Amino acid sequence: MMFHPNAEEAFNKKAFELISHMTKEVIINEPNQPQSLKGSMAHKQSEDWSDKLDRSRPSISSKTNLVLGTKFDRFEEHNGQRVGFNEEKYPEYEKFLDQIYKTKTISQKVSYSWLYDESFQWFANVCKTGQANTDFTTFITSQAQIVLSTYNYRFEIINLDIQREFKIGNISFSFLTEAYFDNLSTQKPLVDIAPLKEKYCGNVYASISIQDVEIKKGEEIAFNECCKAVNILKLFSPTVQCPTYKTDFDIDRRVRVNLQNECLIEKSETNDLSMNFERGATHYQLIGNIIDGIEVTCLNFSTLIKIKEPNELQKLVVNGLALYSDAISNPNIHKRIVDLLTIWESLLLKDSNSPIMDTVSTYASKLLRKTVDDRKVFIAFFKEIYAIRSAVIHHAKETDLDMKKVALFQSETINLMETLINASQKHHTKQSLLTEIDNAILQAY
């Protein structure tokens, strides 16, 4: 059952109410005027696919605010008829879908885009025919049952090679082999596998299997889970110990660096044109002994991302891992330090009224150091790092950096997150942990 009986009744009532607000009109066909392209677009080589469109099928249209990415209306056009929600009624329809998607049994199984499309199909059909074969919730439930399945998802990690397969959390890191494609060729003899083999063989992937989901929802879940595992993998990047090394490996859709850069150079005297190509991204290879070390060292982090319902403190660490992953790939080390300090603040700052530097350095010193002398040294070190942030944020100035201290700070950030993972077994909230530290400080006097 995807809907609670009470909610089901309310949703169906609202759905039929919305039917009465739909627009239904005859389309006056006017000849399409070819769009005149200007500027660079007029010179780009493109292929016209308009003659390949299946005009016998309904077409869907929406006016969209390109700045905000929001829709104003939604219509289906077919056989000279146009039905849908106009600009006045569309917000009410969208609000209805938003309310449905708050139902966990819906949002955990299907994507919003699926619900959006399937719902409009029901509304358009009822509006056109004047009758409903089923009520709205029955239609959505039955359509969902058709598409729910188990899917295996692979996300390519570019700028990375691995010598063997391994796992972090529930995520497998592997690569496609020649044997895989040879087997695929045997299973599908009518399909030309050669182009696929050439394109994908040897590529590294983060993969996971998601059960009982609609394909697009499964992709959302899988991508989120794979990102968490890659975030952990980047804790072992050479950049941690060597801040100037560029960490560019990541899931393809998260990479910010071109694989290749090029420059066109024209010699004025002769009009000779040449092209200069250079590799944009830094490629990293994980060899066997490094993978062995990662598997042993990442156990706490690996366990963290396997928790289905993490507590508040655990969620903060997961967010911190995402921030760390993004920061460690930032080639601007000053901005990287600013981003890493955001992690410290998110984990150790009680509220917006607390003095940032003093509060964070005090709590961190208690968590990461055991003796008074070591805590004093750490607080002095943290204030040096914080001064770099202040120069960037308040004065737009990038001061000279001591790379050994930057490397130490990057390592200490990992140390802090792992310390809080261990603390999260006892303390489910940040407030609980910081209160314990406050009490320990008071008892010292």
The domain boundary, picked from 147, 166, 182, lies at 147
Question: CB count, 10 Å around CB of 394?
Answer: 8
**Beta bridge pairs of residue 175:** 204
34 falls within a domain = no
Residue 433: burial class (beta carbons within 10 Å; 0-12, 13-18, 19+): buried
Residue entry with tokens 């903060």: 316
Whether residue 177 sits in one domain with residue 139: no
Token code pair at residue 259: 């694989």
Q: What confidence score (pLDDT) does residue 276 get?
A: 85
Whether residue 241 sits in one domain with residue 186: yes
Averaged pLDDT of the chain: 91
Query: pLDDT tens, 85-130?
Result: 999 999 999 999 999 999 999 999 999 999 999 999 999 999 999 9
**Across 44-126, where does the E strand assignment appear?**
59-61, 64-65, 70-71, 74-78, 81-85
- Rounded CA-CA distance 407/415 in Å is 12
39 falls within a domain = no
Range 379-382, long-range pairs (CB < 8 A, 24+ positions): 381/405, 381/408, 381/409, 382/357
Which of 176, 173, 204 minimizes the C-alpha distance to 291?
A: 173
357 falls within a domain = yes
CATH code, domain carrying 381: 1.20.120
Query: pLDDT tens, 210-223?
Result: 999 999 999 999 99
The domain boundary, picked from 255, 283, 306, lies at 306
388 falls within a domain = yes
31 falls within a domain = no
Token code pair at residue 49: 């696919």
Looking at per-residue pLDDT, the higher value among 84 and 32 belongs to 84
Amino acid in position 250: D
Report yes or no: 86 and 73 within 8 Å, Cβ to Cβ.
Answer: yes
Whether residue 274 sits in one domain with residue 328: no
Whether residue 228 sits in one domain with residue 271: yes
Whether residue 182 sits in one domain with residue 106: no
What three-state secondary structure class fits 317? helix
Whether residue 157 sits in one domain with residue 300: yes
Whether residue 359 sits in one domain with residue 240: no
38 falls within a domain = no
pLDDT-based confidence at 29, cuts 50/70/90?
Answer: low
Whether residue 333 sits in one domain with residue 370: yes
Strands 284-286 and 160-162: parallel
Angle between helices 430-443 and 356-368 (to 10 degrees): 80
Which of 27, 17, 26, 25 minimizes the C-alpha distance to 89?
A: 17
Q: What confidence score (pLDDT) does residue 59 get?
A: 86
The sign of the dihedral angle between the CA atoms of 134, 140, 141, 145 is: positive
C-alpha distances in Å from residue 118, one per residue of 106, 124, 194, 258, 363: 13, 10, 37, 37, 51
Whether residue 369 sits in one domain with residue 257: no
Whether residue 99 sits in one domain with residue 21: yes
Whether residue 333 sits in one domain with residue 227: no
15 falls within a domain = yes
Question: CB count, 10 Å around CB of 400?
Answer: 5
Query: pLDDT tens, 259-310?
Result: 788 888 888 878 788 888 877 788 899 998 999 999 999 999 999 999 999 9
Count of the separate structural domains present in the chain = 3
User: Rounded to a whole number, what is the distance in angstroms from the first to the last CA of the chain?
Assistant: 59
**Beta bridge pairs of residue 173:** 166, 206
The domain boundary, picked from 272, 306, 340, lies at 306
Structural domain span for residue 69: 5-26+56-147
Q: What confidence score (pLDDT) does residue 51 get?
A: 64
Question: CB count, 10 Å around CB of 8?
Answer: 18
Whether residue 225 sits in one domain with residue 160: yes
